[in-house]
């Protein structure tokens, strides 16, 4: 049996047949779990669900399951020619290569190669998932990554334990964010917490760092868009190309008003969309949502020019779309709201940001 480590090993042979038993991989599974107070969290059960391996985090929050073997189960043989790699994407094994299959169908054109790779990814067996249980309840289901294992940093009750989350690592500061795929879109399942440079790097609620770790930072519209402060007071749409990265990590962008319409359309309807996208915990006055998609809208509150307010009561999220010189569109959901509402609001206000994958 040919064995590869999943973190980017090249396929060494020029021609290698892959079949249901032709490859496997070993993952070193270990990590550290922290609570919402950023302190190591002991007593968390970490389990590789299908394999049945489990352990408990120690006093320092660390855990290790040692080496765990995963096996890709291809439905048909494929012969990759040249170099390629195995990778894990959204909790599934993906095979990236160029060459031809055993029936002689060539993959010379990039489009054919992409189609072949996509078919291989779809037919690959689901990879095992990590399950985190704390105080007797499952708190999170985690993808197993080819590049990093044990990716839990903050474990809290606002994650939907029935949803399998992906993740991204922001290459700019190393922060790790949950991601979730909803129909055709992949969203961050956490508000951005990137601290840029200069005066518009965003605020932590009440200037408390733990608030930023929990809720993300709050930004003006120009800061979110990566534009000059002057764009908070004038029209700057000519500087905003589609899929504007702005404050988002590479490969992600500030969602447009149209992107948000797409999300609301798949989250039931305009009446229940807010309840379906709100987190299951953290809202005041019975305002918690059902969070059936794992989007996990959080009540991060919002600062204006003079004060912080509404934490626990509202979630305000910027779009990339201006309405006039001093206002831009955002999405609002309150503790008493079942819908996500669309409003234009003053760009100088501090709202949250959810990034969308390109």
Over range 73-86, report the average pLDDT. 34
Q: How confident is the model over 19-35, as a mean pLDDT?
A: 58
pLDDT of residue 67: 61
Pull the structure tokens for residue 134. Answer: 């704390």
Question: What is the pLDDT at residue 271?
Answer: 75
Query: Could you give the CA distance from residue 230 to residue 197 in angstroms, rounded to a whole number?
Result: 16
**What whole-number distance in Å separates Cα of residue 166 and Cα of residue 247?**
20
Per-residue model confidence as pLDDT tens digits over 163-176: 888 888 898 988 88
Helix (H, G, I), strand (E, B) or coil at 232: helix
Q: Which residue, 150, 141, 181, 170, is CA-closest to 66?
A: 150
270-309 pLDDT tens trace:
678 888 999 998 898 888 989 999 999 998 877 665 567 6
96 within 8 A of 8, measured Cβ to Cβ: no
Residues 263 and 187: their CA atoms lie apart, in Å, by 10
How far apart are alpha carbons 210 and 356 in whole angstroms? 24
In the predicted structure, residue 327 carries a pLDDT above the cut 70:
yes
Tokens coding 196: 């840029």
Mean pLDDT calculated for residue range 68-81: 37
Could you tell me if 319 and 286 are in contact, meaning their C-beta atoms sit under 8 angstroms apart? no
**pLDDT, tens only, 95-130:** 333 333 333 333 334 434 444 444 444 333 345 788
Kindly report, residue by residue over 173-231, the tens digit of the pLDDT.
888 888 999 989 999 999 999 987 666 678 777 777 777 888 889 899 999 999 988 99
Q: Give the model's pLDDT for residue 234.
A: 93
Question: Which pTM value belongs to this model?
Answer: 0.73
């Amino acid at each position: 049996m040919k064995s590869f480590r999943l973190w980017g090993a090249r396929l060494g042979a020029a021609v290698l047949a892959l079949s249901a038993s032709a490859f496997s991989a070993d993952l070193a599974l270990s990590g550290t779990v922290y609570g919402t107070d950023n302190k190591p969290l002991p007593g968390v059960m970490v389990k590789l669900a299908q394999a049945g391996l489990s352990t408990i985090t120690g006093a320092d929050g660390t855990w290790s399951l040692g080496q765990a073997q995963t096996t890709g189960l291809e439905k048909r043989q494929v012969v990759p020619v040249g170099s390629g790699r195995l990778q894990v994407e959204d909790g599934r094994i993906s095979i990236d290569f160029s060459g031809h299959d055993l029936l002689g169908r060539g993959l010379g054109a990039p489009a054919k190669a992409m189609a072949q790779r996509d078919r291989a990814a779809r037919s690959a067996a689901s990879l095992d998932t990590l399950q985190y249980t704390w105080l007797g309840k499952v708190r999170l289901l985690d993808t197993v990554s080819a590049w990093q294992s044990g990716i839990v940093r903050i474990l809290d009750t606002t994650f939907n334990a029935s949803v399998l989350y992906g993740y991204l690592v922001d290459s700019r500061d190393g922060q790790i964010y949950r991601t979730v795929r909803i129909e055709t879109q992949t969203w961050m399942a956490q508000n951005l917490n990137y601290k840029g440079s200069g005066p518009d790097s965003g605020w932590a609620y009440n200037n408390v760092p733990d608030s930023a770790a929990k809720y993300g930072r709050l930004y003006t519209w120009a800061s979110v868009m990566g534009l000059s402060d002057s764009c908070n007071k004038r029209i700057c749409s000519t500087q905003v190309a589609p899929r504007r990265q702005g404050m988002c990590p590479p490969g992600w962008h500030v969602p447009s008003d149209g992107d948000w319409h797409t999300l609301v359309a798949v989250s039931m309807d305009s009446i229940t969309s807010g309840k379906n996208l709100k987190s299951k915990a953290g809202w005041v006055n019975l305002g918690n949502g059902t969070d059936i998609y794992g989007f996990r809208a959080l009540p991060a509150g919002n600062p204006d020019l003079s004060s912080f307010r509404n934490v626990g009561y509202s979630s305000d999220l910027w779009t990339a779309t201006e309405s006039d010189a001093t206002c831009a569109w955002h999405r609002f959901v309150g503790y008493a709201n079942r819908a996500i509402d669309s409003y234009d609001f003053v760009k100088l206000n501090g709202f949250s940001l959810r990034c969308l994958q390109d």
